[in-house]
Amino acid sequence: MLQIRRLPETLVNRIAAGEVVERPSSALKELVENAIDAGAGRIAVKLVEGGLASLEVTDDGCGMTADEIALALERHATSKLPDEAIEQVSTLGFRGEALPSIASVSRFTIESRPQHAEQGWRRAVDHGEVVSEGPAALPPGTRVRVENLFGRVPARRKFLRTPRSEYAAALDVVRRLAMARPDIAITLDHGDRRILGLQAGEGLEARVAQVVARELKDNGVSIDLDRGTMRLTGIAGLPTYNRGVADHQYLFVNGRPVKDRLLTGAVRGAYRDMLARDRHAVLALFLNLPPEDVDVNVHPAKTEVRFRDAAAVRRFIVSGLRQALATGDRRSAQTPDAAAMGRWQAEPTSEEPAAALRSIFSGRDWSAPSSRVAEPSRAWRTDEGGVAAEPQGRAEEAAEPEPQNYPLGIARGQVANTYIVAETKDGLILVDQHAAHERLVLERLRAAGAEDAVARSQALLIPEVVELDETSCDRLEEAADKLAEHGLALERFGSAAMLVRSLPHAIARTDPAKLLRDIDDDLAQNGEALLLGEKLDLVLATMACHGSVRAGRVLRVDEMNALLREMERTPRSGQCNHGRPTWVKLALGDVEKLFGRH
């Protein structure tokens, strides 16, 4: 039997690093949190190759002496727990594991100078071994540089992602910490480019809007609520301002960025009956409560928390959000601006088919007159007793197709300019025109080959510039070749914008900016987890949604019938791209029961 032995300190640190440091963004999070805890008023972050080559954090905090630097690089040595009351911790860090863990798996250099010292001190550690130390010239504060992360741990190094992916994760870390502390000036440089330049003293709403999205300030409601010892602040986007993924939901507990299922579920519950199930709110919520009511010592990464009274926290968040959104709902529903109302108006009816349906009607003679359901096509006569009899114009009626000839029947009208009413030989069919046509467009895009992409695309007279986050542009640029095969031609336009040169012919009238944002949401949520074919299915589904006839669009009878016939020929036409049914049937026997005939 093997003998029990005490592990070497360097190996213990490396084991601990597996929990604390997963990738460059993990190390960056620990270093920025240390700078915040040190009372910094300015924090500068510099990345090279997304942090894979190097990352550096400089602050103007309290600084450390040479002895304190040496002690800080030992495990479980910290200044953030003056006593043993860990339940009273009020700082972001407290475990004393981060610095020795990072130093054990990288080339680690720390330089620090206390506020009133004449000079600073420098110590360099290479994967757990001290290689040099001595005086250093720097302003009061601390500078930490991490290079060649996992350079001597190839089993971990090979699991790191591309520089772009690591940069996106690091940017998200800086954004979250910057939102929590608007009183600190924070800059982020990637290579030789300035990515973020946030000034100190900004209000919470201004900082959140600047970091998350500029539109949030005009499309959100402020939150500032108290209940007992709990306080909830932040900004929540209106239900009409949403995203396809939940990556724009930022949650904080006592100033600490967290990813907690309880809080995420509370947000979902608050928006439950205001958002479609495939859309997600945009918000930043800051929950503050006494330290003893929340346990932050759940995981070394400190992103998970446990609440003493989880049910009360959930109720507070749900009721607080719904109370704040009530004002937003009234503002959106009762006093919308003219531009928003204009987008909801039904399109005018013309004698030509809708652009999105034109391919279905190709080759048809549109010069012949067509009747509308809303307009009586022939006069009714009455018998001598004044009772309505059969309509005149039997020759016209004979020309109409019989319902029993088609599985989805013949269109008889339109309800609320959204649902098509069709008659079959044994009942009634209700069709959601947008959901149905969304499926048709998707199947048409899938069936089309890449060889005729140019023929299936429509060039824009003036290419449109769409401003996006840099990481969003990176994702779209990587997918540009495959998108071009389906008629969507994109080009990079600077670091934070994409140029749209052409759109797929089936969706030529869509809004390019909204289309690109939704495609980016799909790629962000599923891009790295799915195979290429599945990625394209998600993108094509987004394109199909944008290219479908909308609810509120008035359709002619022949347009409705053409849509029904196309549904009968299209696979999977019974459900839309989001899993909702495209049509429902009410059997004739059920109709007769409604009137007491059975």
pTM: 0.67
**Which pLDDT does position 345 carry in this prediction?**
38
pLDDT: is 305 or 59 the higher one?
A: 59
Residues with Cβ within 8 Å of residue 487, at least 6 apart in sequence: 453, 454, 456, 457, 458, 502, 503, 504, 505
> Is the model's pLDDT at 107 over the cut of 80?
yes
The mean-pLDDT minimum among 130-144, 363-377, 529-543 falls in: 363-377
- Tens of pLDDT, residue by residue over 488-497, are 899 999 989 9
Residue with tokens 């030989």: 425
Residue 151 to residue 158: CA distance in whole angstroms: 10
Instruction: For residue 541, give the H/E element and its range.
Output: helix 532-546
User: Is the separation of the CB atoms in 525 and 244 below 8 Å?
Assistant: yes
Q: How many residues does the chain have?
A: 598
φ, ψ for residue 545 (rounded to 5)? -60, -40
Q: Residue 127, Cα to own-chain centre: how many angstroms?
A: 37
pLDDT tops 90 at residue 350: no
State how far the Cα of 502 lies from the Cα of 460, in Å rounded to an integer.
Answer: 5
Q: How many CA atoms lie within 13 A of 102 on its CB side?
A: 26
Task: Specify the pLDDT at position 552.
Answer: 67
Report the share of the chain in percent with pLDDT over 70. 75
pLDDT digits 0-9 by tens, 432-472: 888 888 878 877 776 765 345 444 678 888 999 999 988 99
pLDDT digits (tens, 9 = 90+) for 151-173: 888 888 888 889 999 999 999 99
Both tokens of 123, joined, read 């110590």
Helix segments in 235-309, DSSP class H: 261-270
DSSP structural state of residue 575: B
Least-confidence region, from 274-283, 405-414, 415-424, 536-545 = 536-545
User: Which is more confident, 366 or 419?
Assistant: 419
- Rounded CA separation 582/434 (Å): 8
Inform me whether the pLDDT recorded for 553 exceeds 70: yes
Q: Specify whether the CB–CB gap between 455 and 498 falls below 8 A.
A: no
pLDDT at 95 over 80: no
Please state which architecture CATH assigns to domain 9-202: 2-Layer Sandwich (3.30)
- With vertex at residue 589, the alpha carbon angle to CA 585 and CA 594, rounded to the nearest 5 degrees, is 95
Contact 550, 559 (CB under 8 A): no
d(CA 182, CA 186): 9
| Per-residue pLDDT at 123 | 96
User: pLDDT averaged over the chain?
Assistant: 79
pLDDT at site 9? 73
Lowest mean pLDDT among 52-66, 164-178, 584-598: 584-598
Range 346-361+398-598 classified under CATH 3.40.50.300 = no
Averaged over 567-574, what is the pLDDT?
79
Domain coordinates in residue numbering, the chain: 9-202, 211-334, 346-361+398-598
- Same topology, domains 211-334 and 346-361+398-598? Answer is no
Exposed/middle/buried for 22, CB within 10 Å: 0-12, 13-18, 19+?
A: middle
- Cα separation, 43 vs 184, in Å, equals 7
E-state strands within 35-104: 42-48, 54-59
How much of the chain, in percent, has pLDDT values that exceed 90?
Answer: 32
Backbone angles phi, psi at 235, to 5 degrees: -140, 135
DSSP-derived secondary structure letter, 590: H
pLDDT at 521: 83
Amino acid at 318: V
What's the mean pLDDT in 23-51? 94
pLDDT of residue 377 exceeding 70: no
Say which CATH topology domain 211-334 has: Ribosomal Protein S5; domain 2 (3.30.230)
Q: Which residue has the higher pLDDT, 41 or 298?
A: 41
225 CB-near residues (< 8 Å, 6+ apart):
231, 232, 233, 316, 320, 323, 324
Angstrom distance (rounded) from CA 264 to CA 155: 33
